[in-house]
Amino acid sequence: MQPKVKSSATTVSFYCAVRLKLLPSILHFYDFLHTHKHSTTTPSSPFTKQAFASLLESCSSESYQLKQIHALILTTGLSIKNSLITQLLTSLTLLGDMTYARLLFDEMHKPRSFLWNTLIKEYVKNDLSIEATSVYQKMHRLGVRPDTFTYPFVLKACAQVDDLWTGQEVHAHVVKFGLHCNAIVRTELMMMYAKVGELGSADYLFETMSNRDLVAWNALIAVYVQTGNAGKALGMFHGMVLAGIKPDSVTVVSALSACADLGCLEIGKQIDQFVMKEILDSNLFVNNARLHMYVKCGNIEAARCLFDKMPQRNVISWSTMIRGYAMNGESDKSLHLFSVMQNMGVQPNQVTYLGILSACGHAGLVREGQSYFEEMVKSNDCNVQPRLEHYACMVDLLGRSGHLEEAFDFIKRMPIEPDAGVWGALLGACTIHKNIELSQNVADILFNLAPEIASYHVLLSNIYAAAGRWGDVEKVRQKMRKKGVKKVVAYSSVEASGEVHVFHGGDRSHPLSSNIYEALAELIKQITSIGYMPNTTEVLHDVQMEEKEATLSTHSEKLAVAFGLINVRPQSPIRVIKNLRICNDCHTFMKFSSKVTNREIIMRDKNRFHHFKDGYCSCKDFW
């Protein structure tokens, strides 16, 4: 028989150990009490449910400690309380140990809905959505009644794995259990449909929702922006204001993001004013979104002004500003800001480096780019190791500045498998430098890797066309037809009085079409008189010269600028957004136009901005 004092000393020590998070001591004390036949299950035992709960909490950062505690729970004979196991399960999942968590779950006798919900939730959080849906299906099979807490997670899982089929099945269950009017479940249903591309179903659920609240509006607006439907998102934003719902910081972030996508500076500025009026400008998310909007609308001065005024900045703010300068061809400012950032102790991430590498690319700074790339490779931080995008950037940098062989070598020495983006960068460089042999090899690789991407076919046929090899051009076009490769339709857009006007090549659908064509004809007349000559080398078809010129003269950006001349206030620049890259002829056209009309033309193409002014472009013809 042990002296009583000793075991109570042990009891005290146990609590101390728990408080100090000393698991080895705890295990030691447990061992002591256990081997001395001190009951571990009586009410006076230190091994109470509460003690375990706090023990679990203090050891929640180490998976192996949690497993030791699990063993402890089992040997104490303490009945396995759901709450204790749930806590253990949650801690394990937070550490990413879903395997052990699942083991625990499967050992339990008839777990309640709550625990099923927990397991599903944790699978989703750990990016294991397929497991999440299969757990839900098992739950359903076993007849465990799901509740309103079950569905948000299950629907998130369906959306994450792009599984419309299961999503619809789950939707049916939601209706069966009468949960479809719950605002949260319904919001998640909408999100699921929108994310898998079923916008109609999302809209329907929203339209027929009786208790449409702020979050429901925000959710739908956000998901529209995220899925590339910025125009629709802005439409919803207006609808929300009309419906008398006051936007909050979350709404504003999505709306600004939509403006950034569309290049809607006017609307963006209006939202900016709302931000100031409602004093939302202390929110970092909001300020980053404003910054992004100004950058993507080509108003780099406003962006910098805001950046300097921001009360807080994080790596996203810095990356956005750095990339903003890069996109606008101000590489020196971009690189300078990067060094300021590093001096301030802000850790750059992969996105920051992407901005830096593209800044080097736009300025032809080969050596600098290589040294930044080396910086990434040598970094101890696994979060700044170069990824495929960075390799593509480097190939672009090397190739664009004429080092084609070096770029090719660079790809061959890559430690990871190059993708179409990397090879595509090389093909693009081959086009610029008119290297037919290399481009044929690269194109072969690309046609195997990504046969469905039209732009690679187009690049190759451009190279042939430039060399006058019309037979080869025709072969590429036949191949495209045979494989059903569709070209991405080019468009340009201009914002006037808060409305976006979209133009396609040869477009006559605009209500002001005849005025636009008139203005365009006049413009061509004017620039021709000061030396403009159409450059038809990039026109694909082997047709008569006049026909080529006709195609060329109605490229979407030319129509957009002609429209801008009529409809954008004379003192402000004409801002054009293009979904593809600008062609050589349009680039020359814009330079001449900026001179004869004495107007600034700011054009955002797929990659960067061109600021045309007084007959020059900010890209210095290197793009």
Partner DNA sequence: ATAGGGTTAG
Q: Considering the rule CB under 7 A, would residue 331 count as an interface residue with DNA? A: no
Contact 113, 138 (CB under 8 A): no
Judged by CB under 7 A, does residue 316 bind DNA?
yes
From 360, 333, 338, 361, select the one nearest 349 (Cα to Cα): 338
In 3D space, the residue among 276, 320, 285, 316 whose CA is nearest the CA of residue 300 turns out to be: 320
Q: In this complex, which beta carbon is closest to DNA, that of residue 289 or of residue 539?
A: 289
Two tokens at 36?
Answer: 């001395």
CA angle 269, 270, 273 (to 5 degrees): 90
Task: Give min distance, CB of 61 to DNA, in A.
Answer: 20
Interface with DNA, residue 352, by CB under 7 A: yes
The reply to whether 113 sits near DNA by the rule CB under 7 A is yes
Alpha-carbon span 175 to 170, nearest angstrom:
9
Decide: is 274 part of the binding site for DNA (CB under 7 A).
no
Q: Which is nearer to DNA, 87 or 401 (CB)?
A: 87
Nearer to DNA, 353 or 589 (CB): 353
Among 39, 68, 137, 147, binds DNA (CB under 7 A): 147
114 makes contact with DNA (CB under 7 A): yes
Say if residues 418 and 384 touch (Cβ distance below 8 Å): no
Q: Which of 38, 70, 102, 121 binds DNA (CB under 7 A)?
A: 121
According to the binding rule CB under 7 A, does residue 283 interact with DNA? yes
Q: Does 225 bind DNA (CB under 7 A)?
A: yes
Identify which of 494, 492, 501, 553 has the alpha carbon closest to the alpha carbon of residue 527: 553
Give the C-alpha separation, 459 to 590, whole Å: 22
Q: Is 185 in the site for DNA (CB under 7 A)?
A: yes
Q: Does 101 bind DNA (CB under 7 A)?
A: no
181 or 467: CB nearest DNA: 181
Choose between 147 and 472: whose C-beta lies nearer to DNA.
147
What distance in Å separates the CA atoms of residue 218 and residue 237, rounded to the nearest whole number? 9
Separation of alpha carbons 115 and 138, rounded Å: 13
- Minimum CB distance to DNA, residue 349 (Å): 6
Binding mask 17-56 for DNA (x = CB under 7 A): ----------------------------------------
CB 350 within 8 A of CB 323: no
Per CB under 7 A, the segment of 20-28, 221-229, 522-530, 609-617 that binds DNA is 221-229
Shortest Å, Cβ 319 to DNA: 3
Tell me if 531 sits within 8 A of 542, measured CB to CB: no
* Among 37-45, 242-250, 409-417, 553-561, the segment contacting DNA (CB under 7 A): 242-250
Asked if 421 touches DNA (CB under 7 A), the answer is: yes
Q: Which of the stretches 9-17, 100-108, 286-294, 429-437 binds DNA when contact is defined by CB under 7 A?
A: 286-294
Contact call for residue 219 and DNA (CB under 7 A): yes
Given the structure tokens 């408080």, which residue do they identify?
Answer: 19
- Smallest distance from the beta carbon of 390 to DNA, in angstroms? 9
Minimum Å distance from CB 93 to DNA?
13
Q: DSSP assignment, residue 264? A: -
Map the footprint of DNA across residues 69-98, applying CB under 7 A.
82-83, 86
The only residue of 144, 215, 346, 480 in contact with DNA, by rule CB under 7 A: 215
Phi, psi dihedrals of residue 563, rounded to the nearest 5°:
-60, -45
Q: How distant, in Å, are the alpha carbons of 329, 356, 384, 411 from that of 371? A: 20, 11, 14, 17
Of positions 196, 240, 337, 354, contacts DNA by CB under 7 A: 354
- Alpha helix segments (H runs only) across 364-469: 366-378, 388-400, 404-412, 420-432, 436-449, 454-466
Binding residues for DNA, total number by CB under 7 A:
67
Query: For the chain, what percentages of helix, strand and coil (3-state, to nearest 5) are there?
Result: 65, 5, 30
Do residues 157 and 133 lie in contact, with contact meaning Cβ atoms separated by under 8 Å?
Answer: yes
Backbone φ and ψ of 602, nearest 5°? -110, 120
Q: Nearer to DNA by C-beta: 259 or 601?
A: 259
Binding site for DNA (CB under 7 A): 82-83, 86, 112-115, 117-118, 121, 147-149, 152-153, 156, 182-188, 191, 213-216, 218-219, 222-223, 225-226, 248-251, 253-254, 257, 260, 283-286, 288-289, 292, 296, 314-317, 319-320, 323, 349-352, 354-355, 358, 389, 421, 607
